[in-house]
Amino acid sequence: MTAPDPDPDLTARLAFLSEADRLKLVERASRITGNARRENSAEHSWHLALYALVLGDLAEPGVSTDRVIRMMLLHDLVEIDAGDVPIHSAAGQAHASEATKAAERAGADRLFGLLPAHKAAELRALWEEFEAGETPDARFARALDRVQPVMLNLINDGGTWNDYAVTRAQLETRVGAKVMRGAPALWAHLRTAIDAWFSRNRA
């Protein structure tokens, strides 16, 4: 006969953390600095949390850097079940499709459902806020989520822009417009390097 669990709340939280380790297996399109290999989604989430910590002063007044960091750590957990859809790939425009959203919500149901109810509600609410992208915190978080791959592509001489034949106009529509909603000064700063790269490589 199995002994009763003396602390089911802690057992559930540890189970969630063990399952979250699978995010390290989700490969993204972006390559790490030096083109050595593709980044995984856990690395991406960590890097974005660091982006929020370092660049938080570029957010609009009232944005909570602590809440943004929490969003960054949670935002891609659903990719354990739903996978990553590169924004510039042929499937990229399915990024916001109903099928993709449904897969991600099912992933959120399963993953956050591993947690005790009180913790599940807290973390699920942060994930939902990021997905909606309407609060100042979420707009800044989503801006950083778009900027980090741009930085990797600049460091790697185009990176996925070369893989997917991305145009300057596409980059502005798919990325720049989103960054401008949450971190306009950051996009204004990056435009110089972006324009220089496209002038050299798409002339």
pLDDT digits (tens, 9 = 90+) for 41-87: 999 999 999 999 999 999 999 999 999 999 999 999 999 999 999 99
Tens digit of each residue's pLDDT (9 = 90 or more) over 88-139 = 876 655 556 788 889 999 999 999 999 999 999 999 999 999 999 999 999 9
Distance CA 52, CA 140 (A): 9
Distance CA 121, CA 112 (A): 8
Q: Which residue ranges form the domains of the chain, and what is each CATH number?
A: 9-201 (1.10.3210.10)
Q: Are 25 and 40 in contact (CB under 8 A)?
A: yes
| pTM to 2 decimal places | 0.94
Between residues 180 and 86, which one has the greater pLDDT?
180
| Least confident range of 1-10, 25-34, 100-109, 122-131 | 1-10
Contacts of 201 (CB under 8 A, 6+ apart): 158, 162
Q: Cα 156–159–163 angle (5° rounding)?
A: 160
> Do residues 49 and 73 make contact, with C-beta atoms less than 8 angstroms apart?
yes
d(CA 81, CA 130): 18
Q: What is the pLDDT of residue 95?
A: 52
What pLDDT is attached to residue 98? 83
User: Partners of 40 in the beta sheet?
Assistant: 27
Sorting pLDDT into bands at 50, 70 and 90, what band is 190? Answer: very high
What is the predicted pLDDT for the residue at 1? 65
